[in-house]
Amino acid sequence: MEKSSYFKLPHVWAFTTYFAEGLPYTIIRMVSSVFFRDMRVSLEAIGLTSLFGIPWVIKFLWGPLIDQFGTKRKWLLIMQFLLVLLFIVVAFMSPLPYGVKLIAGLLFIAALLSATHDIAIDGYYMEALDKKGQAKFVGYRVMAYRLAMMAGTGIIVTIGTTLSWVSAFFTAGAFLGLLFVYHVFFLPRIEEEKIRIWDLLKRIFRIKFLIATIALVLILLGMRSLFWDRFSGGLLEVFPFLKMISFAGRVAIGLLILLIGLALFRNRIKELFFRDKESFYSRAFFDYMDRDKIGVAIAFIILMRTGESGLSSMVAPFMVDLGIKVHYGWLSGGVGLPFSIIGAMAGGFLISKFSLRKMILPFLLAQNLTNLVYMGLALSLTKYLALNTGADVVTFIGHFNLFLVACVHAFDQFAGGLGTAVLITFLMRTCMERFKAAHFAIGTGLMNISGVLAGVASGFLAERLGYGFFFGITFLLSIPGMCLIFFVPFLDAKDQASKK
């Protein structure tokens, strides 16, 4: 076999594409938490970085566009290139005096690009492989994704905490840049372009639209300069208690108001999106929703990782406050990495051998028991948390305690691999043939709802309750999802996603 043919095998591209999918997500959602805590950002504000997950929640809104315009290959290449540029910009901004705030804004933009990148990769995977091939490579793609997470939390974090965050973010961009070059030359072309991406861009960026947008921005800037100081000052006089609320608290209140608004005007919003029920865009949503027990399936997708999401959003700050941020890299890369691979591969193998129905409960139990294990660890190390939180010179926790942390992290990564294998298999079974990318985007978007909400709340809870009790609460949040296992559809291979 020629070398070029070897590079085009699914054994290779399934690995590289899912590594490229996992790396930006890890930088945005996990590595950023270590960076912000290292910059002395509050736990409340770090909890709010879970809002970076919003694009993964709402990506189903533009999922059908990836199916309809261009090809999945073109979309993933464009997004990869833009993400490389963005990480390099973040690297150069990290040492600036106001770099933290600027980086927070850039990472939200990166989240939008990364969510679109995920849609394209998931759609490409399902387009390039038949159902047997998709099942065959489930464990493989999970392994690649977990390896990317370990590279981010291991290599990138180690560089950031020992050398500099400039070097760390630049390395992340270089990693992704190498994958981009490989994909340009070797990623197989498996689709015919339906409608050119350029036609979509022309629709979005019409001259009238641009003029209206620029005019609106200028008007808003003018209104801000004229009225904001007077308005904000008057508001604080009327409601003096607002002075006591931090920026993080104000953002949380704003999010709550937004959610209430969406609930009140949901019918009007639905009418705007689905005016033409026969359009490709609308059919993708209606066909996904118009199936037996889909309500139970949606509830399960939303709730199945609630506890894990709350836990994972505070693990990195927990390690920093414990005084072992310099050890976090090798813990993730040297300990977490092999156990993550074992968990992912074992999960895919056992599901294919014994069925999802038989494996789903024990796998999710293992995933969520991690929260109780972390609770025990945090409570036993309370003394070191008190000594090292915010300290310039940290007190070492001792070799035995470091060994305990390594064991807990190993179990966490192994169980996480099992849970991810369950999630991907279930989501793929909810996808209909005609709308593969759109339906997978809907499923992963629903999955991230609980992650965003649990993550936002996590900072406030951890700040007030302490890590130990907070980790215990996250286990309680996982119970409703596990209870739904006995009622969900699509657990058997013979189930057809297209059945009504």
Q: In terms of domains, do 152 and 79 share one?
A: yes
CA-CA distance, 320 to 436, in Å (whole number)? 40
Record the pTM: 0.69
Tally of domains in the chain = 2
Q: In terms of domains, do 51 and 86 share one?
A: yes
Residue 69 has φ and ψ, to the nearest 5°, of -110, 140
CA-CA distance, 20 to 22, in Å (whole number)? 6
Per-chain mean pLDDT for the chain: 80
CA-CA distance, 129 to 483, in Å (whole number)? 33
Residue 58 lies in a domain: yes
Q: In terms of domains, do 81 and 225 share one?
A: no
Q: What is the CATH number of the domain that holds 113?
A: 1.20.1250.20
Q: In terms of domains, do 101 and 232 share one?
A: no
Residue 221 has pLDDT above 50, yes or no: no
CA-CA distance, 366 to 359, in Å (whole number)? 11
C-alpha distance from residue 366 to each of 101, 147, 342, 346 (Å): 37, 20, 14, 13
pLDDT, tens only, 312-361: 888 888 998 998 988 888 887 778 878 877 887 898 889 888 888 999 99
pLDDT attached to residue 224: 44
Q: In terms of domains, do 214 and 136 share one?
A: no
Q: In terms of domains, do 300 and 224 share one?
A: no
Residue tagged 């490709």 (tokens): 280
Residue 494 lies in a domain: no
- Indicate the residue among 249, 264, 279 that finishes a domain: 264
Residue 170 lies in a domain: yes
Helix (H) or strand (E) holding 339: helix 337-354
Q: In terms of domains, do 220 and 315 share one?
A: no
Q: Which one has a higher pLDDT value, 203 or 331?
A: 331
pLDDT, tens only, 68-82: 788 889 999 999 999
Rounded mean pLDDT, 303-315? 87
CA-CA distance, 331 to 313, in Å (whole number)? 17
Residue numbers of the domain that contains 211 = 205-264
Residue 384 lies in a domain: yes
Residue 222 has pLDDT above 70, yes or no: no
CA-CA distance, 44 to 89, in Å (whole number)? 26
pLDDT attached to residue 165: 92
- Indicate the residue among 264, 279, 314 that finishes a domain: 264
Residue 96 lies in a domain: yes
Rounded mean pLDDT, 295-324? 88
Residue 499 lies in a domain: no
Residue 492 lies in a domain: no
